[in-house]
């Protein structure tokens, strides 16, 4: 079943644009200040990487500055690696210049327990020492199990644990949209 629509295609596009504006404002990446940090968007595969790509394009469109872009597979850093079914490793890619001293914005589609983000922080540690790390998510569905919060949230969606959110993106699914499913 399609589920209940939470974001229409145009809502998804507007939300990505809004987050791009917020990243520009909060990071001041277009300030031209010599001591403004280099901004690196690191997407968490699969859809977090796609969202990071879209955000980079919007940020460039709105500010004239293109942030560096990478992607971070967190499979090996999960604390439940031994208890969950294995999935294939995704590619980690680090932009030229790395993440040392950069302001890294992690990007994911859905924030739930926070364990993926915790794993991503472990993964970043192996790549360098950022000046700061922020988090952007399209959907925050609650149920945190760790002291982790997002700096940029497309939409807060109170969910029950039995519910599931589908994030559809044109690049993968042929159209944009976010839906809520009852298990
Ligand atoms: P967490 O690690 O915070 O429990 O879950 C976040 C990760 O699992 C994200 O990478 C996200 O893609 C995925 N995830 C968790 N819950 C959902 C959900 O309801 N829908 C979708 N599409 N992904 C989810
Ligand atoms: Mg995911």
Question: 113 alpha carbon to ligand 1 midpoint, in Å?
Answer: 8
Other CB atoms within 10 A of residue 34 CB: 5
Which one of the ligands is nearest to 45 CA?
2
Question: 30 alpha carbon to ligand 1 midpoint, in Å?
Answer: 31
154: Cβ contacts below 8 Å, ≥ 6 apart: 7, 15, 16, 18, 19, 137, 138, 139
Count Cα neighbours of 60 within 13 Å in the Cβ-side half-sphere: 12
Tokens coding 73: 């597979």
Take atom 13 of ligand 1 and give the residue whose Cα is closest.
Answer: 110
Beta strands 177-181 and 152-156: pairing type? Answer: unpaired
Average pLDDT over residues 31-56: 94
Q: How far is CA 8 from the centre of its chain?
A: 19
pLDDT digits (tens, 9 = 90+) for 115-155: 999 999 999 999 999 999 999 999 999 999 999 999 999 99
pLDDT digits (tens, 9 = 90+) for 94-111: 999 999 999 999 999 999
Take atom 24 of ligand 1 and give the residue whose Cα is closest.
Answer: 110
Q: Please write down the long-range contacts of 9-15, taking CB distance under 8 Å and 24 or more positions apart.
A: 9/175, 9/176, 9/177, 11/178, 12/138, 12/169, 12/176, 12/177, 12/178, 13/176, 15/138, 15/154, 15/155
Count Cβ atoms within 10 A of the Cβ of residue 155 and give its class: 0-12 exposed, 13-18 middle, 19 or more buried. Answer: middle
pLDDT digits (tens, 9 = 90+) for 151-160: 999 999 999 9
Candidate from 46, 112, 183 with most ligand 1 atoms within 8 A of CB, to mutate: 112
Ligand 1, pocket residues at CB < 6 Å: 44, 108-116, 141, 164-167
Which one of the ligands is nearest to 139 CA?
1
Q: Which residues pair with 79 in a beta bridge?
A: none
pLDDT tier at 57, thresholds 50, 70, 90: very high
pTM summary value: 0.95
């Amino acid at each position: 079943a399609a589920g209940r629509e939470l974001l229409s295609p145009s809502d998804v596009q507007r939300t990505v644009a809004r987050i791009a504006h917020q990243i520009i404002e909060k990071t001041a990446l277009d300030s031209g200040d010599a001591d403004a940090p280099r901004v690196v968007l690191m997407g968490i595969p699969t859809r977090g990487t796609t969202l990071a790509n879209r955000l980079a394009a919007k940020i460039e469109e709105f500010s004239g500055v293109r942030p560096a872009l990478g992607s971070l597979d967190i499979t090996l850093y999960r604390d439940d690696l031994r208890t969950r079914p294995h999935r294939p490793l995704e590619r980690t890619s680090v932009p030229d210049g790395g993440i040392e001293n950069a302001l890294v914005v992690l990007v994911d589609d859905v924030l739930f327990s926070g364990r993926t983000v915790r794993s991503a922080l472990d993964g970043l540690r192996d790549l360098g020492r950022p000046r700061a790390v922020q988090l952007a998510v399209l959907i925050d569905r609650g149920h945190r199990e760790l002291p982790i919060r997002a700096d940029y949230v497309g939409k807060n969606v109170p969910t029950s644990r039995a519910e599931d959110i589908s994030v559809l993106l044109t690049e993968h699914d042929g159209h944009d949209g976010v839906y809520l499913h009852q298990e």
